[in-house]
């Protein structure tokens, strides 16, 4: 029976892996390394890595309190808040881009005020980071909230009875106990931020070295130089695969031990 299932699962597996394989077959390792030396390729990689690193850090710093209060608090609007957190996951990227323009654009609700203060967001790496935080934060928040809610609350309560302050409890109890969920969430958020395209081209624009991340360079570049687009695609796939694989390894190890 299990043999039959395996045979039946082959078509889908082949379908999913064929395009990836085709990309890798299209370019020789020598050409790949050669293209890697092109300044626009390096610029795009550097910008992508830099912005996603910052956006992931912001997501962790600002997302953790939200995740914790979602996991602990049974406040009145927690279901509403939960749905709001999910929303960026299902929004078309174009909607996210337009919405961000309305909020942070030069004539936007907040952007107008910031522009008067001399802070320009549109067409800068800051815009790229804002987009990434918006679309990628839900992955971390969901994972972290799940991790927090799996902790036995009695543990935290007894630590409090023993005189531990709440920052101490969080630092020495909550974080270590939900460590893998936090790490997996961060990795997933980072991978999503790395692949962000649609909202970025609308909200942040396209300028090499400033707002042209790897996905934008692939999209704009593929009409001009297919080889460069393929090189960047291969790197993007390798990075994403590595991230997902690490996340799954951590999750799996965690399940085995618990």
Partner 1 sequence: MSSPLSRLKFITILVVILGAACGELSDTNSVKNLRKQELTIYAAASLAEAFTRLGEVFESSHPNVEVVISFAGSQQIAQQLSQGAPGDLFASANAKQMENVISAGRVMSGADQELIQNQLMIILPGDNPGEIAGVRDLIKPGLRLILADKTVPVGLYSQEMLERANQQIGFGEDYKEKVLGNVVSYEENVRAVLTKITLGEADAGIVYVSDAAGAQGEDIRMIPIPEEINVTASYYIAPLRDSSEKDLGLDFIALVLSPEGQDILNGYGFMKLGQNE
CB of 200 to partner 1, least distance (A): 11
CA-CA distance, 84 to 190, in Å (whole number)? 20
Residues in Cβ contact with 19 at an 8 Å cutoff, skipping those fewer than 6 apart: none
Residues in Cβ contact with 159 at an 8 Å cutoff, skipping those fewer than 6 apart: 168, 169, 173
Compare residues 140 and 203 and give the one whose CB is closer to partner 1. Answer: 203
Contacts with partner 1 by CB under 8 A lie at: 101, 105-107, 120, 122-123, 201-202, 205-207, 210-211, 219-220, 222-224
Compare residues 115 and 254 and give the one whose CB is closer to partner 1. Answer: 115
CB of 105 to partner 1, least distance (A): 6
Residue 144 and residue 67 in contact, taking contact as beta carbons nearer than 8 Å: yes
Residues in Cβ contact with 161 at an 8 Å cutoff, skipping those fewer than 6 apart: none
Residues in Cβ contact with 209 at an 8 Å cutoff, skipping those fewer than 6 apart: 43, 47
Compare residues 183 and 201 and give the one whose CB is closer to partner 1. Answer: 201
Instruction: Give the tokens for residue 75.
Output: 């406040």
CB of 115 to partner 1, least distance (A): 9
CB of 114 to partner 1, least distance (A): 13
The number of beta carbons lying within 10 Å of the beta carbon of residue 241 is 12
CA-CA distance, 8 to 128, in Å (whole number)? 42
CB of 201 to partner 1, least distance (A): 6
Q: Where are the alpha helices (DSSP H) in the chain?
A: 2-26, 29-36, 39-72, 78-90, 93-104, 111-116, 125-149, 153-161, 166-169, 175-177, 179-195, 198-203, 214-221, 226-257
CB of 219 to partner 1, least distance (A): 7
């Amino acid at each position: 029976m299990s043999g039959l299932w395996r045979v039946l699962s082959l078509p889908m597996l082949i379908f999913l892996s064929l395009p990836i394989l085709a990309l890798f077959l299209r370019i020789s390792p020598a050409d790949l390394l050669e293209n890697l030396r092109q300044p626009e390729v390096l610029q795009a990689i550097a910008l992508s890595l830099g912005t996603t690193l910052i956006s992931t850090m912001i997501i962790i710093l600002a997302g953790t309190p939200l995740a914790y209060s979602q996991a602990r608090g049974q406040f009145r609007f927690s279901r509403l808040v939960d749905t709001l957190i999910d929303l960026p996951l299902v929004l078309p990227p174009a909607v996210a881009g337009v919405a961000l323009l309305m909020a942070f654009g030069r004539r936007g609700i907040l952007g107008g005020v910031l522009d008067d203060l001399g802070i320009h967001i549109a067409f800068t790496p800051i815009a790229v980071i804002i987009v990434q935080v918006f679309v990628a934060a839900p992955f971390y928040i969901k994972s972290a909230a799940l991790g927090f809610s799996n902790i036995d609350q009695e543990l935290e309560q007894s630590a409090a009875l023993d005189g531990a302050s709440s920052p101490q409890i969080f630092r020495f109890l909550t974080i270590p106990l939900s460590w893998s969920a936090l790490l997996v969430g961060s990795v997933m958020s980072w991978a999503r931020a790395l692949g962000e395209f649609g909202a970025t081209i609308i909200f942040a624009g396209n300028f090499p070295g400033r707002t042209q991340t790897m996905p934008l360079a692939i999209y704009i570049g593929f009409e001009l130089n297919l080889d460069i687009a393929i090189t960047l695609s291969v790197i993007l796939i390798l990075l994403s695969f590595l991230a997902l694989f690490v996340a799954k390894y951590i999750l799996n190890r965690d399940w085995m031990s618990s």
